[in-house]
Structure 1
Amino acid sequence: MSAAVLPVPDLDIEDALVREASPPWETVVWNDPVNLMNYVVHVFREYFGYSLEEATRLMLAVHHDGKAIVAQGAREQMELHVQAMHDYGLWATVRRSG
């Protein structure tokens, strides 16, 4: 009688499938009383490469709504964006999309 050999799961593939099934993460920039609107536009253009129109739209969302989602994607990348926003002096956080 021979012992049955069970397949060993590929954890890398399983981790990738879990990540794909998870909603993306967001970088959220929050309103603050310190930074001028034109500076926020400058940061969005310089760091993210947004057009003047898109950077202005996002800045106005921050100004009027108190926040704007400026990027979506993998958590690690969103954490890098948040750190960059902090380096520019903006208040930003990472959160799950949805």
Structure 2
Amino acid sequence: MTSPTLLPADEARAARETTATASPPWETVVWDDPVNLMSYVVRVFREYFGFSTERATERMLAVHHEGHAVVAEGAREQMELHAQAMHDYGLWATVRKATR
């Protein structure tokens, strides 16, 4: 039995899928700070991540009550872009390996 022939696009997709499943996901974490208003944090989450008002409020309340909240999960490079965007909005954010 022979293996299927992969076209160049199929090979690239297979390599991406293998890399994606082999590497653990990363998280963008937003941390509580004494400066930004809760309404501003909700606005940032809605504007940047496209969260609904309910989801943005839920994540903001986690930041407020628990000290931090995971706002995105995925490839490390994308999470670093999200963290930088949060910094541009004046929020404190970090990137870490997903704990699950």
Normalised by the length of structure 2, the TM-score is: 0.81
Kindly indicate whether residue 13 of structure 2 is the aligned counterpart of residue 36 of structure 1: no
Normalised by the length of structure 1, the TM-score is: 0.82
Counterparts of 1:25 and 1:63 in 2: how far apart (Å)?
22
Structure-1 residue corresponding to 2:28: 27
Deviation at residue 16 of structure 1 after TM alignment: 5.8
The gaps in structure 2 that reach 5 residues or longer are 1-13
Deviations, residues 8-39 of structure 1 (Å, cap 9, x unaligned)? xxxx93x8634422220000000000000000
Q: 3-state SS of the aligned residue for 2:30?
A: strand
Counterparts of 1:45 and 1:18 in 2: how far apart (Å)?
30
What letter corresponds to residue 41 of structure 1 in structure 2? V
% same residue: 72
Counterparts of 2:65 and 2:36 in 1: how far apart (Å)?
14
Counterparts of 2:87 and 2:19 in 1: how far apart (Å)?
29
Counterparts of 2:20 and 2:91 in 1: how far apart (Å)?
28
What letter corresponds to residue 26 of structure 2 in structure 1? W
Aligned length: 87
Counterparts of 2:55 and 2:68 in 1: how far apart (Å)?
15
Structure-2 residue corresponding to 1:85: 86
Structure-1 residue corresponding to 2:52: 51
The gaps in structure 1 that reach 5 residues or longer are 1-11
Q: Give the greater-gyration-radius structure (CA).
A: 1
Q: CA RMSD in A?
A: 1.7
